[in-house]
Amino acid sequence: MSLNSRKKRATDAALAAGVDALLVTNLPDVRWLCGFTGSSAALVLPRPSSEPSRKTPHAVLFTDGRYIAQANAEAVGTQVVIATKPPLTEACEWIAAAGIKRCGFDKTQTTVATLANMRKVVPAKQRHSLFVALDPLVAHLRQIKDADEIAKLRAAAKLGCKLFDHILTYIQSGMTEMAVAAELEHAARLAGAEGMSFETIIASGERSSRPHGHATTAKLPRRGFVTMDFGVILDGYCSDMTRTIHIGRASAEERTAYDAVLEAQEAGVAAVRAGVVTGDVDEACRSVLRSAGLAQWFTHSTGHSLGLEIHEEPRLALKRTEKLKAGMIVTIEPGIYMPGKFGMRIEDTVLVTRTGCEILTPSPKAWIEL
Ligand code: ZN
Ligand code: ZN
């Protein structure tokens, strides 16, 4: 989908919500709509003018002087204004001067203080009617990925799988979790990643019982689990995968628990299909762990969507009622965490299709003992 059609869809959604223009300040939304990747931006999508003589621009991007070259290169097809005041201030002044009566903004992305500042810069008579709080329209459009985005997410996920293969040849008991994270991140950068999509989780031994065990100076044990949850950002899009391996011989309890988590994860993947309720995918994972007597240790939700951001809507969680749609990209990541003992998680990123899903992270999930 071209950037112009994204802008048109967002403008149409704003008009349908009863406003004449949309003010977008969430940077991933700005990037998705106009291609600009800078850190300072306010984008205005006004209603197209009905008078052919007065040509209203389709989109106006306000940024600051640091981004003159970048904004003109990236935001092709969007009018760029280099603001001398804060970009949001100039955007609000422009909105008022353009005769816009009601301008929508994303109520989940705008603080009370920011809204007060937005109102302060417009004429008094417009102060209380101009800005209209809306549900996140752009984030909603971003839930369904287009072909270009799917290709980018597929490439990012593929790089994640390559990094997992690499790290398996590197890991040894006695090295620190930090060393594993550093190797992974170094290899990611060499392979073209712009960065990691979140802080790398390497949780070993007893620390594997922490769902978000960021890498520490703890040494990998001679016997025990190592949970690795990591993602790269490639061409703006995030990857996300988790694998848990075992160093040394496992106890029967550890092995049984792993098999149950793997079965739960596969049941979750099997439940994914367009039209299925997200809460039902969560339940598919949870019921396997319930049968294994382990559900009490599954203390987080089953998954989330991802794209330009690592956590997007919809979430796959208990009792959630949104329906999956073809073109969504979601994670399936059940895990169990037994305090003081051990824990594990297995996570894939999948593309929702009409008939099921395609796993974008096909790294092996079967038991690995190093
Ligand atoms: Zn993850
Ligand atoms: Zn995840």
Residue 51's pLDDT is 59
Distance from Cα 200 to the centre of ligand 1, integer Å: 9
CATH of the domain at 37: 3.40.350.10
Neighbours of 226 (CB within 10 A): 25
Let me know whether 242 and 197 are in one domain: yes
Let me know whether 195 and 331 are in one domain: yes
Within a domain: 366: no
Q: Which ligand ends up closest to the CA of 312?
A: 2
Out of 91, 118, 141, a domain closes at 141
Let me know whether 267 and 350 are in one domain: yes
> Which residues neighbour ligand 2 (ion) by CB within 5 Å?
240, 331
Within a domain: 365: no
Q: Which ligand ends up closest to the CA of 203?
A: 1
Distance from Cα 83 to the centre of ligand 2, integer Å: 37
Tokens coding 216? 């520490």
Residue 11's pLDDT is 96
Q: How many domains does the chain have?
A: 2
Distance from Cα 230 to the centre of ligand 2, integer Å: 9
Let me know whether 126 and 242 are in one domain: no
pTM for the structure as a whole? 0.94
Distance in angstroms (rounded) separating the CA atoms of residues 18 and 347: 41
Q: Which ligand ends up closest to the CA of 331?
A: 2
Distance in angstroms (rounded) separating the CA atoms of residues 347 and 196: 17
Distance from Cα 212 to the centre of ligand 2, integer Å: 11
> Which residues neighbour ligand 1 (ion) by CB within 5 Å?
229, 240, 242, 347
Distance in angstroms (rounded) separating the CA atoms of residues 235 and 356: 27
Residues 6+ apart with CB under 8 A from 23: 42, 43, 44, 91, 92, 95, 103, 104, 105, 131
Contact 319, 333 (CB under 8 A): no
Within a domain: 367: no
Digit-by-digit pLDDT tens for the chain (370 residues) are: 788 899 999 999 999 999 999 999 999 999 999 999 999 999 999 998 765 555 556 899 999 999 999 999 999 999 999 999 999 999 999 999 999 999 999 999 999 999 999 999 999 999 999 999 999 999 999 999 999 999 999 999 999 999 999 999 999 999 999 999 999 999 999 999 999 999 999 999 999 999 888 999 999 999 999 999 999 999 999 999 999 999 999 999 999 999 999 999 999 999 999 999 999 999 999 999 999 999 999 999 999 999 999 999 999 999 999 999 999 999 999 999 999 999 999 999 999 999 999 999 999 999 999 9
CATH of the domain at 304: 3.90.230.10
Q: Which residues pair with 81 in a beta bridge?
A: 62
Residue 50's pLDDT is 63
Let me know whether 130 and 153 are in one domain: no
Distance from Cα 50 to the centre of ligand 1, integer Å: 48
Distance from Cα 332 to the centre of ligand 2, integer Å: 8
Ramachandran angles phi, psi of 151, nearest 5°: -60, -40
Contact 260, 238 (CB under 8 A): no
Give rounded-to-5 percent helix, strand, coil for the chain.
35, 25, 40
Q: Which ligand ends up closest to the CA of 243?
A: 1
Q: Which ligand ends up closest to the CA of 227?
A: 1
Q: Which ligand ends up closest to the CA of 212?
A: 1
Within a domain: 260: yes
Q: Which ligand ends up closest to the CA of 332?
A: 2
DSSP H helical ranges for the chain:
3-16, 27-34, 68-74, 87-97, 112-120, 137-141, 147-168, 177-190, 252-271, 278-291
DSSP string across 192-231? T-SEESSPPEEEEGGGGGSTT-B--SPBPPSSEEEEEEE-
Which residue range(s) make up the domain with 292? Answer: 147-359
Q: Which ligand ends up closest to the CA of 304?
A: 2
Distance from Cα 134 to the centre of ligand 2, integer Å: 28
Let me know whether 56 and 173 are in one domain: no
Closest CA to 330 of 285, 292, 288, 289: 285
Out of 83, 108, 141, a domain closes at 141
Residue 1's pLDDT is 73
Distance from Cα 239 to the centre of ligand 1, integer Å: 8
Ramachandran angles phi, psi of 101, nearest 5°: -90, -40
Q: Which residues pair with 22 in a beta bridge?
A: 45, 104
Within a domain: 36: yes
Neighbours of 319 (CB within 10 A): 9
Distance from Cα 53 to the centre of ligand 2, integer Å: 50
Out of 91, 121, 141, a domain closes at 141
Let me know whether 67 and 169 are in one domain: no
Distance from Cα 138 to the centre of ligand 1, integer Å: 24
Q: Which ligand ends up closest to the CA of 330?
A: 2
Tokens coding 47? 């209603």
Let me know whether 135 and 159 are in one domain: no
Within a domain: 13: yes
Residue 358's pLDDT is 98
Q: Which ligand ends up closest to the CA of 241?
A: 1
Let me know whether 260 and 277 are in one domain: yes
Residue 33's pLDDT is 97
